[in-house]
Structure 1
Amino acid sequence: MNGAETLLSPGQCVMLFVDFQAGLAFGVESTARQTLLNNAVALARTSQVYDVPVIVSTSASRVYSGPLFPVLHAVLPGVEPIERRNMNAWEDETARSAVLATGRKRLLVAGLLTEACVSFPVLSALSEGFEVFVVGDACGGLTTVGHDLAMHRMEGAGAKLTSWIQVLLEFQRDWTRHETYAGARQIVEEHGGGYGIGLTYARDMIHPNTKQ
């Protein structure tokens, strides 16, 4: 596989967002919940800038978990969450069919909880020949140990581990790609921590063509 095929390209990918719901987020202890939500929103916004299809699945919305996080719903206004009964989204025919309908074989997965509703569809999709990338910093587990063990198991089964910022930068790859430059930069500035602060500083404070 050459470098162009190894690196992610937007036209090859589909994203699966699983159970980004408050009732499940209450149990997350593997990372700060606000950080997790920041990263999930950044990933969702990335999908919109690069026109990557997103499948959203929720579970037990009316009895325990609550609806999709409103901030994610706002970023993905045209995406209707697929409600399911089982833990494994890949065993839900509607969710699985939605992924298959995109015709794309590179699947990026993020969600809650890493130990179950993330790892189960990842393992299932791998068994069906998908190339699966787990966006680890947009996943949350009940404990750090549980999250890490689930990540190791998925990686051992063939999944690739990545982060939301790597996905964005891999999609962009060249800051002279003007059609996505503004959108990508805005996501980094608003969600990218110190890196985003640096981009904002460079834009507002550094004027190489201005005499001091």
Structure 2
Amino acid sequence: MTSMSLMDAGRSRLVIVDFQARLMPAIHDGPRLVANARRLVDAALLLGVPVLMTEENPAGLGTTVAELAGAGPVIAKMSFDSCAEPAFLAALADDEDLILCGCEAHVCFGQTVLSLLARKRRVFVVQDAVGSRAPESKEVALRRMERHGAEIVTTEMVVFEWLRTAEHPQFRAASKLIK
């Protein structure tokens, strides 16, 4: 494995797709997914990784859940695919690795990931921070994204690849997020 295949905090952006108040109660395992997204946000803040968030139809689905609110700038959208919103694409630097979590895996999240991959972006999907109402919808969506080139990772993989070494000045603080 080359270092190019590892996630690098210095060239990553955490993208949080549609973790919204009115949607989350219907999402399978929602509280655990939100807790993992919060761990990612906290690690990003410790390590200087920028965060970008989206909200699908916020008037209908509500704003971002309280646990994640304020983590980064929010792009409101009506399109399922975040890439259809020019402000979303404008917020992404060309050379960034994109670490994505969010909902729903088979709708807004999946369409966003597939569009980013079609644009030749390096995309890492944090499977334990991605949700759908039905577990089978999430499973099928993850397999599809992986077939198209997304790397499927976990919250813990992201945090420790961003750190790289136990000698990192933020190691102690970041590793506490996982425990």
> What TM bracket, shorter-length normalisation?
over 0.9
Deviating 4+ runs (over 3 angstroms) = none
For the residue of structure 1 that corresponds to 2:109, the secondary structure is: helix
Question: How far 1:80 sits from its partner (Å)?
Answer: 2.6
Residue identity opposite 1:55 in structure 2 = L
The aligned counterpart of 1:19 is 18
Q: Distance in 1 between matches of 2:157 and 2:171?
A: 15
Structure with the higher fraction of residues in helix conformation: 1
Q: Distance in 2 between matches of 1:132 and 1:155?
A: 10
Q: How does 1:121-132 map to 2 (within 5 A)?
A: 121-132=112-123
Is the Cα contact below 8 Å between 1:24 and 1:113 reproduced in 2? no
The aligned counterpart of 1:71 is 67
Alignment RMSD (CA, Å): 1.3
Is the Cα contact below 8 Å between 2:51 and 2:73 reproduced in 1? no
The aligned counterpart of 1:193 is none
Question: How far 1:136 sits from its partner (Å)?
Answer: 0.8
The aligned counterpart of 2:174 is 184
Structure whose CA Rg is larger: 1
The aligned counterpart of 2:111 is 120
Is the Cα contact below 8 Å between 1:14 and 1:104 reproduced in 2? no
The aligned counterpart of 1:58 is 55
Q: Distance in 1 between matches of 2:31 and 2:149?
A: 29
Question: How far 1:113 sits from its partner (Å)?
Answer: 0.5
Q: Distance in 2 between matches of 1:104 and 1:183?
A: 28
Question: How far 1:67 sits from its partner (Å)?
Answer: 1.1
Q: 1:106/1:80 Cα in 2 relative to 1: closer, same or farther (>3 Å)?
A: closer
The aligned counterpart of 1:207 is none
TM-score by length of 1: 0.80
Q: How does 1:1-212 map to 2 (within 5 A)?
A: 3-29=2-28, 32-62=29-59, 64-74=60-70, 76=71, 79-99=72-92, 102-178=93-169, 180-188=170-178, 196=179
Deviation string, structure 1 residues 52-104 (Cα, Å, up to 9, x no partner) = 11111102212x21111112125x2xx231111111101110111111xx343
Q: How many pairs does the alignment contain? A: 179
Runs (5+) with no aligned partner, structure 2: none
For the residue of structure 2 that corresponds to 1:182, the secondary structure is: helix
Is the Cα contact below 8 Å between 1:10 and 1:52 reproduced in 2? yes
Q: Distance in 2 between matches of 1:91 and 1:126?
A: 14
TM-score by length of 2: 0.94
Is the Cα contact below 8 Å between 2:126 and 2:152 reproduced in 1? yes
